[in-house]
Amino acid sequence: MLEKINTLIEELEQLTAEKKEQVEEYRIRFLSKKGAITALFDDFKSVPNDMKKEMGQRLNELRDLAKNKINDLKEKFEEAETSGDNTLDLTTPPLPYVQVGSRHPLSIVKNEIISIFSKIGFTISEGREIEDDWHNFTALNTPENHPARDMQDTFYVSLNPEMVLRTQTSSVQVHIMEKQTPPIRTISPGRVYRNEAISARAHCQFHQVEGLYIDEKVSFADLKQTLLYFAREMFGEDTKIRLRPSYFPFTEPSAEMDISCTICKGAGCNVCKYTGWVEILGCGMVDPQVLENCKIDSTKFKGFAFGMGIERITMLKYQMKDLRLFFENDVRVLKQFTAAEK
């Protein structure tokens, strides 16, 4: 009998399993009611009394060993199943390359505009994209039924007809004027929305930067000088500007600003439609009524404001012809701008 026990112990110590089913087979072979170890316990009755102690100890050792070994094997398979480790191949080579993104051209140009105006003391202010009627229109001299509202086809938030997707970042400046006392010198970059058909030259969403300067002795000459500085910083030292009279509800007088064509340098090309000039922004002296709407004393303070589309500036700077390229996020297009970033 001792011999049998020793043989089984040896066998158990070398036990391995390739499959989960094998472990169950072992359990049946050693530990079930008809298993080898159970059979030995049955034989134990016939062991002579003087050998019972030693044999009993040895038999218990065998049973414990069998239980532990089979449990260990079982756990090994269960662990592998839950962690899925058996499918992980650490020798797999890495992917050939990881695609790294690049900064969007609109962000590059926006940051450049911010940096240019920061140098002459403009702060950055941002606001909400869902705006109420007062801040987007009424405070800016565009009350209900005013014809100028037609200039900006608006998305209304359907649950509340008083709320709109802002059509201009001037709304941010209304908040600033309501909260701060002059001097105010700030630019507000951000996304704006208009209900327009999408084409190469128009989109329902685009980006603006608006500037506002309010102080006691601000003049139109200050506006012109600020914009000349901007144009030269943005498009080069030899850039010329010209101002043409225009109309905006919130400025009086109002003007549109052209810069000398960056491509043909004024000689005439298809970008400037052979005029030598391209329009880049609108501007003017803040209408006294707008100051009053925001509780700023218009007899004491004056201000100028300007606004430009970031898409327009970017298209001119990089000579892009289709506005839709900005929103398609084609990596092949966007990657070209990495090198241009300062």
Residue 204's contacts (CB-CB under 8 Å, 6 or more residues apart) are 155, 193, 194, 195, 196, 198
> Which backbone phi and psi does 246 adopt, to 5 degrees?
-150, -170
| Residue 264 within binding range of Zn ion, rule CB under 5 A | yes
Q: What strand order describes the sheet that includes 251-260?
A: 123-124, 184-193, 205-215, 302-309, 277-286, 251-260, 241-248
| Residue 70 within binding range of Zn ion, rule CB under 5 A | no
Of the candidate spans 105-113, 118-126, 252-260, 268-276, the one that interacts with Zn ion by CB under 5 A turns out to be 268-276
In this structure, the strands spanning 123-124 and 184-193 are parallel
In 3D space, the residue among 65, 45, 70, 64 whose CA is nearest the CA of residue 55 turns out to be: 45
Output the smallest distance, CB 265 to Zn ion, in A.
Answer: 8
Q: Which member of 140, 164, 272, 310 binds Zn ion (CB under 5 A)?
A: 272
Output the smallest distance, CB 319 to Zn ion, in A.
Answer: 11
Six token digits for residue 269: 């090309």
Measured from the CB atom, is 163 or 263 closer to Zn ion? 263
Measured from the CB atom, is 183 or 236 closer to Zn ion? 236
**Per-residue contact track with Zn ion, 223 to 262, x per CB under 5 A?**
--------------------------------------x-
Six token digits for residue 163: 């709320």
Output the smallest distance, CB 191 to Zn ion, in A.
Answer: 29
CA separation for the pair 35, 15 (Å, rounded) = 16
In 3D space, the residue among 36, 31, 40 whose CA is nearest the CA of residue 70 turns out to be: 31
Of the candidate spans 27-35, 38-46, 228-236, 263-271, the one that interacts with Zn ion by CB under 5 A turns out to be 263-271
Measured from the CB atom, is 163 or 269 closer to Zn ion? 269
Measured from the CB atom, is 148 or 271 closer to Zn ion? 271
CA separation for the pair 20, 279 (Å, rounded) = 77
Output the smallest distance, CB 233 to Zn ion, in A.
Answer: 20
Residues in the site for Zn ion, rule: CB under 5 A? 261, 263-264, 269, 271-272
